[in-house]
Structure 1
């Protein structure tokens, strides 16, 4: 059976050690991870199986994590993780979408490994940890104490290793290829859905050197009147002359994702709109120039906001967010945001999407930049010019 580990075993060991250190600091005996990205981070597990309950159990007294999931997905656990056979625990299909709870199965494994009187951390804010899941675990483990350990692993994931950054660079190359394909095909008369189709084809094809994968959310193709909406859906309408196309897309390489947005004008933009584009790019550059290790996320936001304010504009939403390893429905790590009040200190290896898009009352524009913090500043993860594209 071919193994598909994306990292050296030593890297997984380092990650697990960091998680256990934090568990000890919080007096946790067990950590139950429901988020697919955190399961992948600690074990390498990768399959589209998170539509049914699955867990990775991390116990202080157990050398390896334990993967728990649907029986037929056990083969993927064997193929994509380093875990020994005894630490891959698939549950029978009788637990799938039935009156029986798979969390009873999880509880029995927790009791086997650690006993019943344990302190358990769970991801209360996780996308894949439901109220029913929590209620079932409380019932099945009445002698255990539960605490919210949401984002424990996410904060550890914040600083990427060199091997992770290498995948982010490849994801950035895929994002560039996708955006160039969109710019190439966008023209009067071309349907919005055909632009989306071309972008999705490029997403999977990747580059001549390596392929891509499905992303953490659909692309956002916001055309015409919908350019003032950041997450609008595309239609099958043809593109018209003098139309604005705001496109946010995502390059994904082995679950590491880079977000990128650009605006394409079909036909010459008005002088006012071109000026708006120039202001956004100028402010984006000011924000990027402020990316220096030791500075805070708030200081980066302030540099962008000051420049924007000089021209009479204000951005209500956050300027950016950390990104990296992800699964649907979103890639954001839910940790650092580039905005006022976030005092997180930038460190080399952190990756962000500087989402400098503006959605105003009558017009919207999206010219953004993903980057990784370096020892001296930042490295752009995409190479496409930061400009308004005109077709």
Structure 2
């Protein structure tokens, strides 16, 4: 068993989840999000392409892990659970139109006497399908099902000191990754070669901290592709004079991410790009100065709009989001969003990616800062210049 946190920390997380379940009238919770599985048990395997999860009951001490038979030893190696609470299913449940793993989960609930309870499921995530719910309802007709989407995610928003330590280590890796990316952008070099260097830096890490694979692939579009969010590199293209390149990258430690965005220009940046950069960078500084415990997510976004008022910069999308522990396809936690209407109150231990990406019709500009809410304000995770990097 190789745990990266003390068992007492996992147990405290479980206690908070059960407290939330109790408030919501949920007696049994089925967890299918792999990040939530990791958060509560330590389970860390690339097995989420098949159905797997946890069953948590208010009156049962440990979560019950259930998953594919060949992954059971992975659960024994990476979790704090007793082996009796690791329940593998036979391989003929895998991608079989006549048999579904939720029937196996229903068998566990019947065995434990929980088949008539109020059961929470993560309805709106990537790993719980409509078929999952259909099978559970058919198998457990006397149960009452509740939407428990993001119940665990909201517990995750406030990080423990140990979690913050890993994010700070990921930040050191991220600094190395970003520097590698900027250094790799040269006239005549294949974009795919620069991307390969970035991947190498992400996984190798630094002399002090090794890295790992990211939840989001390196976002590093060039030229007109910078007008769209979330595009990658163009494999057969070489960098050329006058290129603008957006970099949205990260460092990773034990599945804990620290993201960062910057912009590179090959040559002398045009006036319009420099003007946008000046407004965004000034807006970031003023917004960070405003953040402290007690302000709300929407108030932070309003401060940003105030900071950029009178300029040409417009940002209709959200200004940022909570981040931390995750697996593909996202390092965000799917909870806090910096946007109008989000009344979430900032509390010490929250980690937010302030990401005022600007995408226009012909090009884009990105400069972001991940920050930690502290007792008196906030602190950024990285010390990386906010500017257009020129080559």
**How much does 1:313 deviate?**
1.9
- Distance in 1, matches of 2:146 and 2:355, equals 34
The number of aligned residues is 389
1:203-282 equivalent positions in 2, closer than 5 A: 203-235=202-234, 236-282=236-282
1:62 corresponds in structure 2 to: 60
Deviations 1:168-216 (A, max 9, x none): 1111111111100011111111111111111011010011112111111
Could you tell me which runs of 5 or more consecutive residues in structure 1 were left unpaired when the two chains were aligned.
Answer: none
- Distance in 2, matches of 1:311 and 1:390, equals 24
TM norm structure 1: 0.97
Instruction: Report SS of the residue matched to 1:333.
Output: strand
1:122 corresponds in structure 2 to: 121
| Contact 1:5-1:82 within 8 A present in 2 as well | yes
Deviations 1:311-361 (A, max 9, x none): 232111100000111011112111111112211110010001111111112
1:309 corresponds in structure 2 to: 309
- Distance in 2, matches of 1:313 and 1:384, equals 23
2:370 corresponds in structure 1 to: 370
1:341 corresponds in structure 2 to: 341
| Contact 2:276-2:313 within 8 A present in 1 as well | no
Structure 1 ranges of 4+ moved more than 6 A:
none
Instruction: Report SS of the residue matched to 2:321.
Output: strand
2:326 corresponds in structure 1 to: 326
1:381 corresponds in structure 2 to: 381
Instruction: Report SS of the residue matched to 1:220.
Output: coil
Instruction: Report SS of the residue matched to 2:11.
Output: helix
**How much does 1:141 deviate?**
1.1
| Contact 1:62-1:113 within 8 A present in 2 as well | no
Deviations 1:257-283 (A, max 9, x none): 111110011111123322221111001
2:357 corresponds in structure 1 to: 357
| Contact 1:216-1:330 within 8 A present in 2 as well | yes
**How much does 1:121 deviate?**
0.3
**How much does 1:157 deviate?**
0.7
1:161-240 equivalent positions in 2, closer than 5 A: 161-235=160-234, 236-240=236-240
- Distance in 1, matches of 2:200 and 2:159, equals 28
TM norm structure 2: 0.97
- Distance in 2, matches of 1:306 and 1:4, equals 48
Instruction: Report SS of the residue matched to 2:88.
Output: strand
**How much does 1:90 deviate?**
0.8
Report which stretch shifted further, 44-53 or 274-283.
274-283
- Distance in 1, matches of 2:25 and 2:49, equals 31
Could you tell me which runs of 5 or more consecutive residues in structure 2 were left unpaired when the two chains were aligned.
Answer: none
Which of 73, 76, 81 is 1:75 aligned to?
73
| Contact 2:28-2:114 within 8 A present in 1 as well | no
Deviations 1:5-28 (A, max 9, x none): 110111111101111111111221
1:18 corresponds in structure 2 to: 16
**How much does 1:111 deviate?**
1.5
**How much does 1:93 deviate?**
1.0
- Distance in 2, matches of 1:357 and 1:23, equals 36
